[in-house]
Amino acid sequence: MKIGLVIRLIVLALLIAFLISPETFRFAFAPLVTGNQPVIYNQGSLLEITINHLMIVAIAVAAATALAVGLAILVTRPFGAEFLPLSRSLANIGQTFPPVAVLALAVPILGFGTAPTLVALFLYGLLPIFENTLTGLTNLPGAVTEAARGMGMTGRQRLLRVELPLAFPVILAGVRLSTVISLATATIGSTVAARTLGEVIIAGLLSNNTSFVLQGGLIVGVLAVLIYDALSALERFLARRTGQSRRAAA
């Protein structure tokens, strides 16, 4: 466990060092280029592009989490149970229409840039968060919820003090999955002029520069692994704290 943590910290340190000073790693990518091609991506700051990529993902996941959790809470209340089919259909929209199709539909309305990418990521990230929240809220220990009722807690108090805290590890598993999917999917946003790491990969493909492609792909891949591991560790910690096992779909 400790060795794994050390390895992850080393990888994180190397990633940060590369983003701050990519020329330092020139030797590692030089064998991948031919002729007078640039070795390190030179059409913008890799650090700025990475930060912007992460910001787009964070905004989209936060919005998807707010809506998905809200819908799951609604349909698990007695007055909202009848809206379950409608809510599930809404959460499935992003999986029904691939992000590329959403981008194609959103660009004429929102124009080029970040907005269409946010819409695509938002819709694509709804389903895992919604389903995990639904699972977490509908599989709570019966003894705990009955005890809360016996203590005279109102429905709102049970939700905020008992149900959501107990379900949070499962909800977080959905957020984790949505975040990793969005990290990778955000690269296609560069096809509609969004500032993401996809522009590094696209620049490499257009110029036949393998070094550019590898740089963009490595940054996305390393970020996905590190964020996945960090959220998984937090999920396990919260599961232990609440006495719940991991029930979320991985």
Which CATH number fits the domain that encloses residue 86?
A: 1.10.3720.10
For the stretch 111-166, pLDDT in tens is 898 999 999 999 999 999 999 999 988 887 777 777 877 777 777 788 888 888 88
Is 94 within a domain? Answer: yes
> Tell me, what DSSP letter sits at residue 80?
G
Is 37 within a domain? Answer: no
Q: Report in angstroms the alpha-carbon separations of 151 from 143, 144, 157, 201, 220.
A: 12, 11, 11, 58, 49
Is 23 within a domain? Answer: no
State the Cα–Cα distance between residues 69 and 157, nearest whole angstrom.
17
Is 3 within a domain? Answer: no
Count of the separate structural domains present in the chain: 1
Average predicted confidence (pLDDT) for the chain: 88
179 is in which domain, residue-wise? 51-242
Residue 244 reports pLDDT greater than 60: no
Is 195 within a domain? Answer: yes
Contact 211, 33 (CB under 8 A): yes
For the stretch 57-93, pLDDT in tens is 999 999 999 999 999 999 888 888 888 888 888 888 8
| Predicted TM-score (pTM) of this structure | 0.88
